[in-house]
Amino acid sequence: MAGLESRTRFEPSEVEPRIIERWLSSGLFSPEAAGPAAENYSVAIPPPNVTGALHMGHALNGAIQDALVRYHRMLGRRTRWTLGTDHAGIATQTQVEKSLVQEGTSREELGREAFVQRVWAWRERYGGTIVEQFKRLGASCDYQHERFTLDEDYAQAVARVFVDLYHAGLIYRDHYLVNWDPGSGSAISDLEVADREVTDTLYDVAYPLIGAAPDEAQEVIVATVRPETMLADTAVAVNPLDERHAHLIGRRVRLPLVNRELPIIGDEYVKADFGTGALKVTPGHDPNDFEIGRRHDLNQLSVIGEDGRMTDLAGPRFTGLEVSEAQVAVVQALREQGYLRAERPYTHTVPYSHRSGRRIEPLVSLQWFMRMDELAAPAAEAVRSATVRIHPASQARRYLQWLEEIRPWCISRQLWWGHQLPVWYRGQETHVALTPPEGDGWRRDEDVLDTWFSSALWPFATLGWPQTTPELDAFYPTSVLSTARDILFLWVARMVMMGLRFTGEVPFSDVYVHSVIQAPDGRRMSKSLGTGIDPLDEIDRHGADAVRFGLLAMSSSQDVRYSPEKVQQGQGLANKLFNASRFVLMHVDPAARAAPAPETIEDRWILSRLERAKQQTAERLEGYDFSHAALGLYDFVFGELCDWYLELVKPRLEPAADAEARASVSANLLHVLSETLALAHPVIPFVTEEIHAHLRSASDPELLAGARWPAAHPELLDEPSERAVARAIEAVQAVRGWRDSVGCAPRLEVPVRLEAPGYEQTGGLLARMARLRLAGEEQASAPAVATVAVPGGSVAVLDVSGLDLGAAQRRVQESARRLRSEIARAEGKLANAGFVAKAPPAVVEAERAKLAALRAELEAL
RNA sequence: GGGCGGUUAGCUCAGCUGGUCAGAGCGCCUGCCUUACAAGCAGGAGGUCGCUGGUUCGAGCCCAGCACCGCCCACCA
């Protein structure tokens, strides 16, 4: 017990490291792989980037998952929270490359093998950071079985999936227009691209019409924001329904600067009312044109290379120029040669790489793709049939919509850090298998897989799939996946697809999509904007419990601003619980723990309120309603347990109090406090664990983290007592307000006569908490000098001197005025024939009762 | 261009199937070092619930329109 009484504040920084140690050495977080998955509780953490550091999103999701995991562990389920990190191809490679540049070398200089070794070394050095940070948050992950998406057996699983899908015809290689990210030097998927609004120049360029009759237009004018790509034009398209242009279909134009003849084709994609109604078609450098090109069997010319420079095909004048330089040069040339008809500023959205921030260059290139339609259908059905439940439901609609419009996924990346494709080539031969081909002359495909390809296997590959392991039996399918909205498609949908395809089961039954935490000013939290708040700084300042509570309290189904006040509130809660516990331990011997023994009305009240808090907290956690779970605990601890119950029982704890009263209140206090600690533990594990160490009796488990969730005691529910005490509390507050307004000395005991029903059991409570002395029979007719309205009637103040009676009078009048207006409103309502006739009888009855009560109160004044 | 969500006290947000729903925390004001907690306690001020209509006996709560704000999806050169 030493340590708890000696401080008046909860000191997180002193307590947390010690508790983390105890948790980790207890083995509680690393359950035995036994029992069926349906009975166990299993969560696979969204693996953070191996080189990453804990940010607010991790902290929020960590708090959410840990609340769920701790709650279910306390319910007695075998609970495993699988921890691990993602190799995060582009992100990690970019980071290591940056450090190479600082050393004056480069990836290319090192060569692939040495570079990959460097990344592994980097991972050795920095990979543990985020795992340590999860510990500081108090996350009860299974740290003994940490996984990494490049682990040897994980890599085997990835290769196996690739090979299977290839042989099933779902993975194929194709020349296709991809999002080329010049920053990372790799193709990236559609989901890694973000549009940004930019203002470019829209140029009108004249393409001379070949064989134009003297009486017709001599040229076709096209509009473009990327004139440099005209060098790769292979057609001009018009809408066949466009009267101005339809007659041109089948004719030809001459491409300026290049002098190539281009056919004029008809395609309904072209908007007659946009620009000039004629579209230059560049299948090699524009996604739409690529589609048009496929429909019309056009050539795909490339004038831009993967290095972002113009290729030989661009012609001697432009070869080797950067794209932006080429644009200037092409416009210059067009102007010189008289083909430029107009130019004007034009604002539109263009794709940028999520990773490198560079503008995407659409290029035709030979890549590996995955056909998604066949996998998407069962994944959609899983959600439609609620085999996978997405919370909130609005996110399920987004998920389904995305799956309906799904397109092939470009899965190859031109990187060195990742799962290299299990593909070998020799001449025209292609070998796709788990093992290299026999014989000489084979060359392995240099590309690696999109990181999300391997993460899609996370829930089962972390448990040993494709082997049938005890872990897989015990913990797959997992129970819930908690994640941010932005990776619903990138990751969640793909896990469902892969899970169904390769295990025949959905990877999780529930998906909780949590808020994105914005900066307090509503902007994105980001390092580059300087709007980021480091959760570890917050933990240092306020404690992990405070941060966890705060994050849960601010979470909601939509984006929220970071609220330091909520963290402060959490800190207050931790401190409050700590001090309440100190108080209890100062007066009660925890070894003398006994069953609760309600003796007084406040005992029955708090025990009943505790039952409700237990039920409510469980419901809210199970319903993914974390903010109300957290705030509800706060309300119970402050608003009921500390503000009222502890104050109410103080007299019974005095040494002077009789032994029976002390025994009763001791049992009740210990019961309420220990169950409250358990209730709060999933949200604020540290402070509750710390108190538990001092409070526990011999029969309790050593760690609260390993204790059971308090069982329901329906026999302790007592609604009449709840009502009576609630009414008494209101009365106390009314009297305190009155005392304050009339300048009544805080300590002065005021003689009063209670003139209201409903306080039969709570009169003593009322008197003590409001510092009143209740008059006996002998003063039944003593004159009142003032009156205080309380629920159901009034308190008549007798013979008290030194008060501001004017203020008292004003207060009475204020009460009366309020009552009269409420009475008038109730009367009006009841006088309304429509209300009486159409409202449900119970509502009308309630209104009548309310009116009667109000009249009684007014009367008493 | 579609779709979704938001607009409630100075700030950040709660308000379940329409009838004590006008709330919380923080901030602010007043008074208290009351022997668990001054990171505390008690009291108080503060909102025509974005705007306009409608449905209803009754509307922050339902419907329509509008105005802002945010997010997602989308190939208009």
Mean pLDDT of A545-550: 95
Give the confidence band of A581 by pLDDT, cuts at 50, 70, 90.
very high
Q: Is the pLDDT of residue A132 over 60?
A: yes
Q: Name, in order, each residue with C-beta under 8 angstroms of A668's C-beta and a sequence gap of 6 or more.
A: A596, A597, A598, A599, A603, A606, A607, A649
Three-state SS at A162: helix
Task: Centre a 10 Å sphere on the Cβ of residue A392 and count the other Cβ atoms it contains.
Answer: 14
DSSP A775-841: --GGGTTPPEEEEEEETTEEEEEES--S--HHHHHHHHHHHHHHHHHHHHHHHHHHH-HHHHHHS-H
Is the Cβ–Cβ distance between A292 and A282 less than 8 Å?
no
Q: Indicate yes or no: strand B within 7 A of the C-beta of A287.
A: yes
Spatial distance between the Cα atoms of A105 and A97, rounded to a whole number of angstroms: 9
3-state secondary structure of A750: strand
**Model confidence pLDDT, tens digit, residues A314-349:** 888 888 888 888 999 999 999 999 999 888 888 888
Bigger pLDDT: A848 vs A456:
A456
Residue A90 (CA) to nucleotide B6 (C1'), in angstroms, measures: 35
A740 is near strand B: CB distance < 7 Å: yes
Is A487's CB less than 7 Å from nucleic acid strand B? no
- Cβ contact A568 with chain B strand, < 7 A: yes
Closest CA to A535 of A556, A562, A554: A562
Whether A232 and A302 have beta carbons less than 8 Å apart is answered as yes
Residues 718-737 of A with CB under 7 A from strand B: 732-733, 736-737
Read off the pLDDT of each residue in A438-448 and give the average, rounded to a whole number.
92
Query: Which residues have a Cβ under 8 Å from the Cβ of A842 and sit 6 or more positions away?
Result: none
Q: Which of A13-27, A224-238, A810-824 has the lowest mean pLDDT?
A: A810-824
Residue A835 CA, nucleotide B18 C1', distance (Å): 14
The residue type of A283 is: P
Report the distance from CA of residue A9 to the C1' of nucleotide B44 in Å, as an integer: 29
Write down the mean pLDDT value for chain A.
Answer: 89
% of chain A surpassing 90 pLDDT: 48
The strand pairing partners of A81, in sequence order, are: A43
What single-letter amino acid sits at A463?
L
CA atoms within 13 A on the CB side of A679: 29
Integer angstrom CA distances of residue A804 from A13, A401, A523, A744 = 50, 69, 52, 8
Residues 250-269 of A with CB under 7 A from strand B: 269
Question: Which nucleotide comes closest to A393 if you measure CA to C1'?
Answer: B4
A846 CB less than 7 Å from any atom of strand B: yes
Per DSSP bridges, beta strands A560-561 and A517-518 are parallel
A405 touches A180 (CB < 8 A):
no
Chain B positions under 7 Å from a protein CB?
3-6, 11-15, 19-20, 24-26, 30-32, 34, 36-44, 56-58, 69-77
Lowest mean pLDDT among A239-243, A503-507, A520-524, A563-567: A520-524
How do A41-44 and A79-85 pair as beta strands?
parallel
Query: Phi, psi (5° rounding) for residue A754?
Result: -80, 115
What pLDDT score does A5 carry?
A: 63
Q: What is the pLDDT of residue A1?
A: 43
The Cα-based distances of A527 to A48, A55, A453, A784 in angstroms read: 17, 10, 27, 67
Judge whether residue A583 contacts strand B, using its CB and a 7 Å cut-off: yes
Q: Which of A113, A115, A46, A36 is nearest to A77 (CA)?
A: A36
| Contact yes or no for A438/A424 (Cβ under 8 A) | no
Please state, in angstroms and as integers, the Cα–Cα distance from residue A680 to each residue in A154, A487, A577, A636, following that order: 37, 30, 10, 10
Determine the Cα–Cα distance for residues A152 and A146; give it in Å rounded to an integer.
Answer: 13
Distance of A8 CA from B34 C1′ (whole Å): 17
How far is Cα A349 from Cα A334, in angstroms, rounded to an integer?
25
* Tally of CB atoms within 10 A around A465: 23
pTM score, whole prediction: 0.91
Nearest to A793 by CA among A706, A734, A856, A703: A856
Measuring from the CA of residue A743 to each C1' atom, give the nucleotide at the shortest distance: B31
CA pseudo-torsion sign A21, A22, A27, A31: negative
Measure, in angstroms, how far nucleotide B38 C1' is from residue A544 CA.
Answer: 23
- Burial of A260-270, coded b for 16+ CB within 10 Å and e otherwise, reads eebbbbbbeeb
**CA/C1' separation A500–B69 (Å):** 40
Q: What is the pLDDT of residue A4?
A: 67
Half-sphere exposure of A116 (CA within 13 A, CB side): 12
Nucleotide nearest to A735 (CA to C1'): B43
Distance separating alpha carbons of residues A637 and A506, to the nearest angstrom:
40
**Nearest by Cα to A765 from A660, A648, A657:** A648
**What would the pLDDT profile of A13-38 be if each residue is shown by its tens digit?**
999 999 999 999 999 999 999 999 99
Please give the average per-residue pLDDT across A344-367, as a whole number.
Answer: 86
Judge contact between A353 and A184, C-beta under 8 A. Answer: yes
Strand order in the sheet with A41-44: A142-148, A79-85, A41-44, A478-484, A508-514, A389-391
Cβ A531 to strand B below 7 Å: no
Nucleotide nearest to A581 (CA to C1'): B36
Cβ of A861 near strand B (distance < 7 A) = no
Beta strands, E only, A457-540:
478-484, 508-514, 517-518
Q: How many CB atoms lie within 10 A of CB A724?
A: 21
Confirm if A411 and A171 have CB atoms less than 8 A apart.
Answer: yes
The tens digit of pLDDT for each residue in A722-736 reads 999 999 999 999 999
Give the pLDDT of residue A2.
Answer: 45
| pLDDT (average), residues A556-577 | 89
What angle separates helix A564-587 from helix A685-695, to the nearest 10 degrees?
0
As a three-state string, the secondary structure of A36-81 is CCCCCEEEECCCCECCCCCCHHHHHHHHHHHHHHHHHHHCCCCEEE
How many residues are present in chain A? 861
A474, amino acid identity: A
Q: What is the mean pLDDT of residues A597-616?
A: 93
Position A794 scores a pLDDT of: 87
Q: What is the ipTM of this complex?
A: 0.94
Q: Distance between CA atoms of A16 and A542, rounded to whole angstroms?
A: 12
Q: How confident is the model at residue A756 (pLDDT cuts 50, 70, 90)?
A: confident
How large is the greatest C-alpha to C-alpha distance in chain A, in angstroms?
Answer: 123
Strands A219-224 and A361-370: unpaired
The DSSP bridge pattern shows strands A252-254 and A784-790 to be unpaired
For A627 and B14, how far is CA from C1' in angstroms? 10
Number of Cβ within 10 Å of residue A120's Cβ equals 15
Reported as half-sphere exposure (CB side, CA atoms, 13 A), residue A232 has a value of 29
Measured between alpha carbons, how far is A794 from A782 in angstroms, rounded to an integer? Answer: 15
Strand B contacted by A196 CB (< 7 A): no
Distance in angstroms: CA A623, C1' B24: 21
Long-range contacts, stretch A738-744, CB < 8 angstroms, 24+ apart: A738/A786, A738/A788, A738/A808, A738/A811, A739/A770, A739/A771, A741/A804, A741/A807, A741/A808, A741/A810, A741/A811, A742/A786, A742/A803, A742/A804, A742/A805, A742/A807, A742/A808, A742/A811, A743/A803, A743/A804, A743/A807, A744/A800, A744/A803
- For the residues A631-653, what does the mean pLDDT come to? 93
Q: Where are the beta strands (DSSP E) in A574-620?
A: none
Pairing relationship of beta strands A508-514 and A478-484 according to DSSP bridges: parallel
Whether A637 contacts A687, CB under 8 Å: no
- The answer to whether the CB of A382 falls within 8 A of the CB of A413 is no
Query: Which is it for the CA torsion A559, A563, A569, A571, positive or negative?
Result: positive
